[in-house]
Structure 1
Amino acid sequence: MYKTIEETAVDLGMSEEQILRLVYEGRIRSVYDGQQVLINSGQFTTYFEQLERIKEEIDIWRSTPIPEDIDVKDED
């Protein structure tokens, strides 16, 4: 599904200027239909899947308790 710059900016939570800059840099693939720049929203599915996986890994990492160091000696 193709979306305009404005719609893509809302979906990604970024400003239109940032989206346009990423398009001009070639980091976001787009097509120009003669009137406006259109972006295929399917190219972001992998990004969102990876983002969710990373969030899950960070949650697991944060919930893992720190093991006690066996080299620590009580000097009291």
Structure 2
Amino acid sequence: MYKSIEETAIDLGMPEDQVMRLIYEGRIRSVYDGQQILINSGQFSTYFKQLERIKEEIEIWRATPIPEDIDVKDED
């Protein structure tokens, strides 16, 4: 499914200028149909999967309790 730059920016949660810069850098593949730049949204499926995995890892990290310091109970 092809989307415009505006729709892609909303989906990715970033400004349109940044999407345009990524297109010019070649990091986002796009097609120019003579009137507007269209972006195939299928190329972001891996990005969204990785983003979800990272969010899950961060939640696991936050839920892990901080171990007590060995030196806390040490009395001289």
Aligned: 1:13 with 2:28: no
Aligned-residue offset at 1:5: 0.7
TM-score of the superposed pair, with normalisation by structure 1: 0.86
Instruction: Please name the residue that 2:37 is paired with.
Output: 37
Distance 1:34 1:20 in 2: 17
Q: Give the secondary structure class of the aligned counterpart of 2:38.
A: strand
Q: Which runs of 5 or more residues in structure 1 are unaligned? A: none
Q: Which runs of 5 or more residues in structure 2 are unaligned? A: none
Q: Aligned pairs, how many?
A: 75
Q: Give the secondary structure class of the aligned counterpart of 2:23.
A: helix
Identity of aligned residues (%): 83
Runs of 4+ in 1 over 6 A off after TM superposition: none
Aligned-residue offset at 1:68: 3.2
Q: What RMSD over aligned residues (CA atoms) do the two structures have, in Å?
A: 1.5
Q: Deviations over 1:5-26 (max 9, x none)?
A: 1111111122211111110000
Distance 2:58 2:11 in 1: 24
**Larger fraction in helix:** 2
Aligned: 1:65 with 2:65: yes
Deviates more, 1:59-68 or 1:1-10: 59-68
Distance 1:27 1:57 in 2: 25
Aligned-residue offset at 1:69: 4.4
